[in-house]
Structure 1
């Protein structure tokens, strides 16, 4: 029987017309039952040797995974980032890799804005103190008075810039691949951004060159009391160094939605100045629906290109 793997645990199979069509056509769906990101071994087990297509999350899709998944022809990533996929290995094994870069962008940008405002106005800490029986008169900071530094000026970074500008904040940005910024945004070298920004928000891809882009040295070069936001990828930040910078008072706050290891169990859990969310950037209902529909459309197109579907009907699988 034909098999499709859906590894992202929050995928709404019942409301996706494309997946429902495949089910009606006899496609078997194997889902992630762990409620979290799969390990490499778990991905191998779920795919088996008979999966022809995969709607993927952020689990590691490596040479070892592809060598084991001998029938796999299409990976449709439910999301934008492809850093968890060994693209060279996928090409060697003849596996098409597709993604949904546009659908989650607004949701991630809005979460970044929520985290920026929560960090500046100390919303989460004030809530905790009130629930503990206190009545804190917490003094925060105005977004309008801050210099916002955006590292990575693509789909999400540009949206965050516009949202910050709507609050009358000054915005500077760094992106090695962008030569011209929109009106009101100044492109600067990374060193200048780290030194001048009050809030630094990461919106770039993760690879070997950006691993621990923000480390102890980078934190030391930031303004005392600066705020760090990460809704991109966990590996961009040295989390141990971040916890130390928060504890020492070098940084005023940090807000992270992504971590090197998820679920997260590291030292930031003990930092009152840290706001931590569980990789929910794309989990806005409207955005998530669009992303899942687009991922399923990509899968169907990929299966069609591989000759496994014709005129909406499964064949030769």
Structure 2
């Protein structure tokens, strides 16, 4: 029997959490490629003897799950499960678990970092100086902004707390929330009122392109979109058009529909991009990995 750790960023110091499995004679295999695995690579590494999988964001499709004849448990290092074919897992009797609490602080802090970076033109100023242009860029204060948070779960709540500490106004849109300290409005109203729109939703068919041409057109001229959640939530074509036209002042994106991202958004000066690293704080990754290991 064996356990596969397919996530590329697993900290070897956290192997201690797997000592019971190893002492019981279970072989622990690592992702040898140090990058996100393809479907074919996952199939090859799982083989037919793997009983447990500590997974990242690699595609765990029906084909992958059907090929893993002995697989019983998938423990996701992170919150989202959109990379897993949950229907196929259920059909095959594979238990799928995640670590929803651990990433909250890290994702919320990266969200705040991106918001501040947009408002103060940090990435643009950095790029200009590196090519010999020494010029101060005028920005604006977070305190003067209304931040609309779409999705008010663990991360959305943490973002609201951080944003409020700067004196900004916060509104939310989440039909599942019945009581909140912040105004809870329909998505259209949130788009109209927000200076900064921040997404904190799981991805599903229902949330695919929840921010599309219609919603973007409702936003104020000179507003911003921040997505540190899942790529499919935003219509990237509509976003690109709004940024090129100047309707939106900027965007900060940590996730895309296709990753690694090589599209047109990366060529715009008004766009800040990071490589799906919302949870990439060492303390957070350690906690996530230890939780995932314990779930096995």
Give the TM-score range, shorter chain.
Answer: over 0.9
Asked if the contact 1:13–1:19 (Cα under 8 Å) also holds between the matched residues in 2, the reply is no
1:278 counterpart SS class: coil
Counterpart in the other structure of 1:198 = 195
Deviation at 1:270, TM superposition (A): 0.7
- The correspondence of residues 266-285 of structure 1 with structure 2, limited to 5 A, is 266-285=263-282
Counterpart in the other structure of 1:303 = none
- The correspondence of residues 47-66 of structure 1 with structure 2, limited to 5 A, is 47-66=46-65
Q: Does 1:18 align with 2:17?
A: yes
Asked if the contact 1:117–1:143 (Cα under 8 Å) also holds between the matched residues in 2, the reply is yes
**TM-score where L is the length of structure 2:** 0.97
Q: Which moved more, 1:240-249 or 1:290-299?
A: 240-249
Q: Does 1:137 align with 2:160?
A: no
Counterpart in the other structure of 1:81 = 80
Counterpart in the other structure of 1:94 = 93
- Rounded to whole Å, the distance in 2 between the matches of 1:39 and 1:209 is 26
Counterpart in the other structure of 2:241 = 244
- Rounded to whole Å, the distance in 2 between the matches of 1:177 and 1:38 is 34
Give the aligned length. Answer: 296
2:272 counterpart SS class: strand
Counterpart in the other structure of 1:310 = none
Deviation at 1:124, TM superposition (A): 0.6
Deviation at 1:8, TM superposition (A): 0.8
Deviation at 1:38, TM superposition (A): 2.0
Asked if the contact 2:14–2:290 (Cα under 8 Å) also holds between the matched residues in 1, the reply is no
- The correspondence of residues 7-46 of structure 1 with structure 2, limited to 5 A, is 7-46=6-45
Q: Which moved more, 1:11-20 or 1:50-59?
A: 11-20
- Rounded to whole Å, the distance in 2 between the matches of 1:139 and 1:245 is 21
1:186 counterpart SS class: coil
Counterpart in the other structure of 2:70 = 71
Q: Does 1:286 align with 2:270?
A: no
Q: Structure 2 unaligned runs (5+)?
A: none
Q: Structure 1 unaligned runs (5+)?
A: 300-317
Which segments of structure 1 move beyond 6 Å, counting only runs of 4 or more? none
- Rounded to whole Å, the distance in 2 between the matches of 1:269 and 1:65 is 32
Asked if the contact 1:36–1:263 (Cα under 8 Å) also holds between the matched residues in 2, the reply is no
Q: Cα RMSD between the aligned structures?
A: 1.2
Counterpart in the other structure of 1:122 = 121
Counterpart in the other structure of 2:294 = 297
Asked if the contact 1:240–1:267 (Cα under 8 Å) also holds between the matched residues in 2, the reply is no
Counterpart in the other structure of 1:171 = 170
Superimposed CA distance per residue, residues 200-255 of structure 1 (whole angstroms, 9 cap, x where no aligned partner) = 00001100011111122221111111111011101111222212211110110100
